[in-house]
Structure 1
Amino acid sequence: MRSRRESYSESTRSALVRSAVELFTKRGYAGTSLDEIARRARVTKGALYHHFSGKQAIFEAAFDAVETEVKGRLEKILRGSQPPWERALAGLREFVDSCLDPAYQRIAIHEAPVVMGWQRWRQAEDRYSFGLIRAGLQDLIDAGDVVDVPVEITSRLLFGALSSAATEIASSPEPERVGAQVQEVIVRLLHQVRSGTRGGTGD
């Protein structure tokens, strides 16, 4: 059982992270102050510093929150009861939908590489996304839906392609249109790979 103090501390931290997500999404990293984050969370600035060493630390917590939410939705799909092929297509649709979400666009795609530095951001993205891609590909191979390719390098290539697709969607003045194009292209490519293992049926 957690003590009342521990519960209060956790709720304070959660309120600060929610506040940070909202403000970083709306105003970006440069346009958001610690005072505003604390005020929106209805806590003192001292309480903020109790949990976070500074602005970058709370940004990284906001980034983790956004990425964790997306990862959770994808994991639920990829670990579902549908056949691997259907799970892969549903996961792709969910990924594109996530790229259209303002918080994910602003925090995870636009701001994080600058605030965290490209290398640390890439490592974080690797931690959140790469394992899901690798597991999904392995499921497709095990089910006979795609040819038996080297899982690690193929997953890396897919990871790079999807990362680039996320940037294209988030950077476009017409993100919905680009998202639909990304989904269409990847689905067509997957069907081409599948048709080679299913006697040209393509379904």
Structure 2
Amino acid sequence: MRSRRLDYSESTRSALVNSAVELFTKRGYASTSLDEVAKRARVTKGALYHHFSGKQALFEAAFEKVESRVFGRLEEIVGGSGTPWERALAGLREFISSCLDPAYQRIAIHEAPVVMGWERWREAEDRASFGLIRSSLEDLIEAGEVDEVPVEITARLLFGALHSAATEIASSPDPKKVGAQIEAVIVQLLHRVRRT
């Protein structure tokens, strides 16, 4: 049986992370204070420090929340029904759609590499996105949809291309237009490597 204290602690932490996601999305890391996060979450600053050692730890929790939402949807698609080809295309479309989300753009694409540092950010991205890309590629090869290729290297190249695509979308004054163009180009390229 769970204690009230544990429930309260989890709800406080969740409120702080949700508050941080909102504020970091609107104002960015540098322009958001811990006082504002605590106030928006309706908790004391002491409660914030009970859960997080500081602003960077709070940012990493916000990053994790944003990333896990995207990763959860992608994992569901990639592991779902349909052929490996259909799942790969649906996963691509979902990823591009995720890149249109302001929280994902600001926190995961623009700010995380700077706030977390390149190495930590890349490790976090590897844990989430890279594994899905590699497993999708393995499924496509196993199903005979694409030719046999070195999986690790090809997955790394695809990962790099998708990261560049995300940056282009997030940096564009017209993200929807750029997202549609990127999707069209990647689908075209995928059709060229597909076995017929």
TM value normalised by structure 1: 0.95
Quote how far apart the aligned CAs of 1:81 are.
1.1
Q: Which 5+ residue runs of structure 1 have no aligned equivalent?
A: 199-203
Distance 1:120 1:3 in 2: 34
Who is 1:201 aligned against? none
Who is 2:182 aligned against? 182
Quote how far apart the aligned CAs of 1:112 are.
0.6
Who is 2:144 aligned against? 144
Moved over 6 A (4+): none
Who is 1:127 aligned against? 127
Number of matched pairs: 196
TM value normalised by structure 2: 0.99
Q: Deviation digits for residues 77-124 of structure 1, max 9, x if unmatched?
A: 001111111000100000000000000000000111111111211111
Distance 1:31 1:128 in 2: 28
Q: Deviation digits for residues 42-91 of structure 1, max 9, x if unmatched?
A: 10000000000000000000000000000000001001111111000100
Q: Which 5+ residue runs of structure 2 have no aligned equivalent?
A: none
Quote how far apart the aligned CAs of 1:3 are.
1.2
Quote how far apart the aligned CAs of 1:22 are.
0.3
Distance 1:126 1:77 in 2: 18
Distance 1:122 1:182 in 2: 22
Distance 2:116 2:73 in 1: 24
Report the secondary structure of 1:18's partner residue: helix
RMSD: 0.6
Q: Deviation digits for residues 143-182 of structure 1, max 9, x if unmatched?
A: 1100011111100010011001100110111111111111
Counting only pairs closer than 5 Å after superposition, residues 39-188 of structure 1 correspond to structure 2 as 39-188=39-188
Distance 2:118 2:81 in 1: 36
Letter in 1 for 2:52: F
Distance 1:180 1:123 in 2: 28
Q: Deviation digits for residues 15-51 of structure 1, max 9, x if unmatched?
A: 1000000000000001100000001101000000000
Who is 2:2 aligned against? 2
Letter in 2 for 1:26: K
